[in-house]
């Protein structure tokens, strides 16, 4: 992987403060991801604003204007950057899965949504190994909608940066994260939603369950720019810790520069409710089954909201 010549991200960076980057240096190089579309010049991409982005741009760059409703992408590793453009009122579902042999990857995905178009992204990592960094962004024109879903169940280390820019009235973005981690796995989500104008709407929902010595962070920002009156934004982050060694960090942020705005956030980090667990046991469920049921109940809302 050519990224080895580049500077690795480090937790000294503000946006990487919760990430233990050590597995990154230790993970093996892997095969390259096969990308759809045509080769694309470097200047077609915005300037790198993030360590992942810089890293990803060192690999293959392609652009695609999909002519079908669904695009499946298997992340086999390496550095890659993909530009996706949707025509007005076009609908696309993009699914990204990690290949079992993908050692490490750094990806950058940028989607431009024309008026009235609709994009669903579902990024799933359920492989036992792998180190994956992703910086994905979406620009939405008027009445465009996107739903960005991240499922983090595997991998040694994964960090997803999701950036949604609501650039015109009627645009709507939904970010959903579901993480269930055990062992020494780490998963991080950095979500940035910008309301550049109003009326626009955004929803962020993150739920993570951590067992053993797993680590997770949610770093979410709602930014409402001056004049973006009529913006409606909500962000919720909930962590459930199943072990005393598990660690969760939550950083919900609001930066609101307009007056007529609805913006709210909420974050919790908690443990299983002892009374709930006892009640289930007093109805015959063994401890482990009661715990499974409560974990499933905790995740159910995110499960249902995932695209």
Partner 1 sequence: MSLLEIADLSVAVAGRTVIERLSLAVPAGSLHAVMGPNGSGKSSLAKALAGHPAYAVTGGSVRLAGRDLLALAPEERVHAGLFVGMQYPTEVPGVNNGEFLRLAANAVRRARGLPERTPSEFAPLLAAALQASEAPEDFAQRQLNAGMSGGQKKRNEILQMFVLEPSVAVLDETDSGLDIDAIKAVARAINAYRRADRALVLITHFPRLLELVQPDRVHVLVGGRLVASGDAALAARLEAEGYERFRA
Nearer to partner 1, 25 or 287 (CB): 287
Taking the least distance from each CB to partner 1, the nearer of 146 and 206 is 206
Q: Are 294 and 276 in contact (CB under 8 A)?
A: yes
The site string for partner 1 over 37-66 (x = CB under 8 A, - otherwise) reads ------------------------------
Distance CA 157, CA 187 (A): 6
Let me know if 285 is exposed, middle or buried by CB neighbors in 10 A (0-12, 13-18, 19+): middle
Per the listing, tokens 């520069």 go with 257
CB 207, min distance to partner 1, A: 11
Residue closest to 166 by CA, chosen among 263, 307, 93, 48: 263
Q: Which is nearer to partner 1, 153 or 238 (CB)?
A: 238
29 touching partner 1, by CB under 8 A: no
Of 246-305, binders to partner 1 (CB under 8 A) are 275-276, 278-287, 289, 293-294, 296-298, 300-301
> Per CB under 8 A, does 208 bind partner 1?
no
The DSSP result for 149-183, as a single string, is EEEE---SEEEEEEEEEE-STT-EEEEEEEEEE-T
Judged by beta carbon, residue 39 or residue 284, the one nearer partner 1 is 284
CB closer to partner 1 out of 76 and 207: 207
**Shortest Å distance, C-beta 205 to partner 1:** 14
Residue 42 vs 288, nearer CB to partner 1? 288
Distances (CA, A) of 133 to 65, 80, 170: 24, 11, 31
CB 294 within 8 A of CB 277: yes
Size of site (CB under 8 A) for partner 1: 20
- Residue 166 · residue 195 · CB < 8 Å: yes
Interface residues with partner 1 (CB under 8 A)? 275-276, 278-287, 289, 293-294, 296-298, 300-301
């Amino acid at each position: 992987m050519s990224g080895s010549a580049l500077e690795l991200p480090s937790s000294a960076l503000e946006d990487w403060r919760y990430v233990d980057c050590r597995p990154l240096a230790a993970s093996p190089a892997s095969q390259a991801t096969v990308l759809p579309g045509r080769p694309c010049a470097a200047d077609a991409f915005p300037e790198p604003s993030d360590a992942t982005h810089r890293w990803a741009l060192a690999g293959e760059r392609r652009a695609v204007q999909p002519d079908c409703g669904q695009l499946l992408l298997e992340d086999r590793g390496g550095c890659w950057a993909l530009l996706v453009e949707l025509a007005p009122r076009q609908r696309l579902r993009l699914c990204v899965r990690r290949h079992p042999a993908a050692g490490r990857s750094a990806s950058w995905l940028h989607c431009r949504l024309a008026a009235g178009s609709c994009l669903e992204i579902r990024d799933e990592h359920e492989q036992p190994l792998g180190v994956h960094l992703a910086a994905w962004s979406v620009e939405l024109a008027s009445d465009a909608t996107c739903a960005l879903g991240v499922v983090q169940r595997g991998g040694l280390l994964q960090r997803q940066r999701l950036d949604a820019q609501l650039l015109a009235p009627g645009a709507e973005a939904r970010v959903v994260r579901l993480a269930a981690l055990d062992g020494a796995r780490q998963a991080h989500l950095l979500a940035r939603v910008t309301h550049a104008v109003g009326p626009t709407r955004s929803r962020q929902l993150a739920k993570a369950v951590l067992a053993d010595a797993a680590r997770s962070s949610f770093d979410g920002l709602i930014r409402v720019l001056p004049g973006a009156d009529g913006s409606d934004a909500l962000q919720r982050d909930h962590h459930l810790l199943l072990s005393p060694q598990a660690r969760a960090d939550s950083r919900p942020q609001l930066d609101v520069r307009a007056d007529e705005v609805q913006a709210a956030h909420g974050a919790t980090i908690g443990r299983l409710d002892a009374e709930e667990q006892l009640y289930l046991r007093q109805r015959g469920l063994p401890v482990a089954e009661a715990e499974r049921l409560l974990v499933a109940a905790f995740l159910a809302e995110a499960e249902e909201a995932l695209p």
